[in-house]
Amino acid sequence: MENILEIADFKLNIGDFSIDIPHFGVKTGETMAIIGPNGAGKTTLMHTLALLKKPNSGTIFYKGTAVSGNLVEARRKIALVSSEPCLLNMSVYNNVAAGLKIRNLPSNEIDSRVNRWMRHFSINGLSGKSARQLSAGEAHKTALARALALQPEVLFLDEPFSSLDPSAKENITANLQNVLSVTGKRTIIITTHNLNEVVMLADRITFMDKGRVIQTGTVEEVFGTPANETVARFTGMETLLHGTVRRSEGGTAGIDVLGKVISASTDAKAGENVLVAIRPENVFITDVEEGAKTSVLNHYSCVIRDIVQLGNFYKLSLDCGFPLSCFITKQSIDSLGIQKGKAMYASFKATSVKVIKRPG
């Protein structure tokens, strides 16, 4: 699949901050999520791709052709939805129609498109209402309807729902997902902090940090094999431990972490310094020291140091000689009689341990 948007040799300096991206591309029809910590340069990259920010150097390619000259025509092929709805001080109808009027489309075409997209987002009843009187959720839906009414080839979503409460965010994300599935696949570039949105919407992820692209890949690749500690932490690796490979044989390594040996599936060589990443959802708790013979290679005695409720489940902080986090249901808390200070056993598979090689 060819790239619909590409940027090459992109450099941009904003005060002390600089963005330097040798190459970045988005394939036609895919949803690309740009994620990373605050100040990573995600929005700046998005604004550059959306032809709103001029790079100090570099070329933007649209369908393989360098974008230059009059930008208005190129901008009319894309649409942007920002973290704030950015509505004009006029009615909902006129807001949704704004971009269409700018394009001087015939009034019957405008009317048909506006009504269609207002219906998609269930805001047709608010047509005559002033944008100033809308709730945050309604305003975001209006902004989405305005963008999609333009039938853009590329849709940019810049932390689109960050100002909404979690339930409204979930609702509007589901609404958007539903609308997109009904109205056809299109290229979407989204910046977000919300990993749920990434999992729900994205085909591929680009992770940015300090103005650089650290990793690009599918959701499974970036979440499963994070390129470095920052990516690992950002993508929810609760346990990150520094260790040294003591032995390596047949694709399985024994890694020394604070005097304990953790088995991991990796091609790291003996003597290498590595970072061991373990997701809390991959850790099991039991009160049995030695169970039946299993494929689980990592089994440690531990003490429960802390229990924190996270919505429908709990996070346990364990001391196995090294710190370890584990997610567990209320049902398991009750059935195992889990409480602070209790001695238990924690286990996890070597294949669920991600090993990140550290430079040097």
Which residues does residue 301 pair with via DSSP β-bridges, in sequence order?
345
Nearest to other proteins of 132, 293 (CB atom) = 132
| Closest CB 128 distance from other proteins, rounded Å | 13
| Angstrom distance (rounded) from CA 100 to CA 106 | 9
Nearer to other proteins, 151 or 228 (CB): 151
Tokens matching residue 295: 């494929």
User: What amino acid is encoded at 222 in this protein?
Assistant: V
- Taking the complex as a whole, how short is the minimal distance between the CB of residue 100 and other proteins, in angstroms? 9
Q: How far is the CB of 97 from other proteins (least distance, A)?
A: 11
Return the residues of window 72-101 that contact other proteins according to CB under 8 A. 72, 75-76, 78-80, 82, 84, 86, 88-90, 98-99
Among 150, 257, 268, 326, binds other proteins (CB under 8 A): 150
Q: What is the dihedral of CA 278, 282, 288, 292, to 10 degrees?
A: -110
Least distance from C-beta 98 to other proteins, angstroms?
Answer: 6
**Other residues' Cβ atoms within 10 Å of the Cβ of residue 267:** 11
Contact between 5 and 154 (Cβ < 8 Å): yes
In this structure, what token pair is assigned to residue 194? 């919300």
Residue 24: CB minimum distance to other proteins, A: 19
In the complex, minimum distance from the CB of residue 127 to other proteins, in angstroms, rounded to a whole number:
16
Q: How many CA atoms lie within 13 A of 353 on its CB side?
A: 32
* Residue in this structure with the two tokens 């003996």, named with its chain if needed: 270
> Based on CB atoms, which residue is closest to other proteins, 123 or 257?
123
Least distance to other proteins from the beta carbon of 141, Å?
16
With contact defined as beta carbons under 8 Å apart, do 300 and 347 qualify?
yes
Question: What is the Cα–Cα distance from 288 to 269, expressed in whole angstroms?
Answer: 33
Which CB sits closer to other proteins, 50 or 222?
50
**How many amino acids of this chain bind other proteins (CB under 8 A)?**
25
Least distance between other proteins and beta carbon 131 (Å): 10
**Which C-beta is closer to other proteins: that of 79 or that of 208?**
79
Pick between residue 109 and residue 281 the one whose CB is nearest to other proteins. Answer: 109
Beta carbon nearer to other proteins, 13 or 301: 13
Sheet of 353-357, strands arranged across: 260-265, 252-257, 239-249, 273-278, 353-357
Instruction: Please report, as residue ranges, which positions from 152 to 211 form the binding site for other proteins (by CB under 8 A).
Output: 156
Contacts (CB under 8 A) with other proteins, residues 98-137: 98-99, 102-103, 130, 132-133
Q: Answer whether 230's CB lies under 8 Å from 209's CB.
A: yes
Nearer to other proteins, 21 or 98 (CB): 98
CA 34 to chain centre: 7
Kindly identify the residues of this chain, within the stretch 31-60, that bind other proteins according to CB under 8 A: 47, 50, 52
Which residues between 233 and 262 bind other proteins (CB under 8 A)? none
Q: How far is the CB of 52 from other proteins (least distance, A)?
A: 5
Q: CB-wise, 72 or 182, nearer to other proteins?
A: 72
* 298, burial (CB in 10 Å: exposed 0-12, middle 13-18, buried 19+): buried
Q: How far apart are CA 234 and CA 193, in angstroms?
A: 9
- CA dist list (Å): 200 to 176, 178, 222: 11, 11, 15
Cα angle for residues 315, 35, 27 (degrees, 5° grid): 130
List interacting residues with other proteins (CB under 8 A).
Answer: 47, 50, 52, 72, 75-76, 78-80, 82, 84, 86, 88-90, 98-99, 102-103, 130, 132-133, 146, 150, 156
